[in-house]
Amino acid sequence: MSKIKKGKFTVEKLLSLYEEGKSDKEIIGIFPENEKEIKEIFLLFSELKNGKEFLNPSRNLLDNTLERIENNVTETEKNRYVYKADEKNTGRFGQLKNNNNFMSIFKKLLITGTSIVVIVFIAVGFNHFSGNGKDKFTLSKESQTPIPSVFIAGVETLDEILSDIDKESAQEYSLAKEYDNDYDLATVDAQLINEIGQIYDENTL
């Protein structure tokens, strides 16, 4: 007994019944009013089944593919664009014909390019960190010109700079401390006001 409820005919219902193994006559028995449509769809089924018989690869191909799999290259693949390339061996098709291993060439170029970039980076990095490049480094003409005296006047020694930094940090520390004290004072005031508020109760007076 089919699980499909009769109801209105749909192609989905027909397919479900067909999957259950029902023949065209049996399905027509369930949906007699759709006999023509059911027959046409069954005709389509048989046409498509015929396709299975006739859509087959060439015998030659079946015989040779295994052999060619060993080399990872097939003759048909090699000749994929030959029909166009023969007409005019230029442009896209011509290039593809001449470069069967186009992808592998591209990959090689990519790998070589990346390797070169990496080597250059390593060389520059090594040169920079080992300090070998210091002696070779020369100043340009502009940078060799003396610095104007107005800037020289402001230049200090390392000790002076360090002591300046110490002074600045001590000043900052004292400022921060002052701020803390102000904050404490403010909170104490607020607390006192609060306490006065508690002592002074209108209702008790």
Partner 1 sequence: MIKDGNTDLRNIIDRAKNGDKEAFSLIYNQYFSPVFRYTYLRVGNKSIAEDISQEVFIKIYNSLVRFDFKDNLVLPYFFTIARNTIIDYKRKTKNIEFLYEFTEDFKDNVSGIQENLFKKEELFEVLKKVVELPEDQQEAITLRFINGYSNREISIILEKKEDNVRQLQSRGLRSIREKLLQKI
Query: Which residue ranges make up the site for partner 1 (CB under 8 A)?
Result: 10-12, 15-16, 19, 37, 40-41, 44-45, 47-58, 61-62, 65-66, 68-69, 72, 74, 76-77, 80
Judged by beta carbon, residue 15 or residue 193, the one nearer partner 1 is 15
Instruction: Spell out the alpha helix ranges (H) of the chain.
Output: 11-19, 24-30, 35-54, 59-69, 75-78, 82-85, 91-98, 102-130, 133-136, 141-144, 149-153, 158-199
Judged by beta carbon, residue 50 or residue 112, the one nearer partner 1 is 50
**What is the DSSP code (8-state) at residue 147?**
P
Least distance in angstroms from the C-beta of 3 to partner 1: 13
Judged by beta carbon, residue 87 or residue 172, the one nearer partner 1 is 87
Cβ distance 94 to 85 under 8 Å? yes
Least distance in angstroms from the C-beta of 14 to partner 1: 8
Least distance in angstroms from the C-beta of 51 to partner 1: 5
Structure tokens at 172: 């900052």
Judged by beta carbon, residue 92 or residue 167, the one nearer partner 1 is 92
Judged by beta carbon, residue 67 or residue 135, the one nearer partner 1 is 67
* 4 CB neighbour count, 10 Å cutoff: 18
Least distance in angstroms from the C-beta of 24 to partner 1: 14
In the numeric block, the tokens 């990872």 are attached to 72
- CA distances (Å), 166 to each of 90, 172, 177, 179, in order? 76, 10, 16, 20
Judged by beta carbon, residue 36 or residue 136, the one nearer partner 1 is 36
Least distance in angstroms from the C-beta of 101 to partner 1: 14
Distance CA 35, CA 31 (A): 7
* 34 CB neighbour count, 10 Å cutoff: 19
* Sequence-distant (≥ 6) Cβ neighbours of residue 144 within 8 angstroms: none
Least distance in angstroms from the C-beta of 44 to partner 1: 6
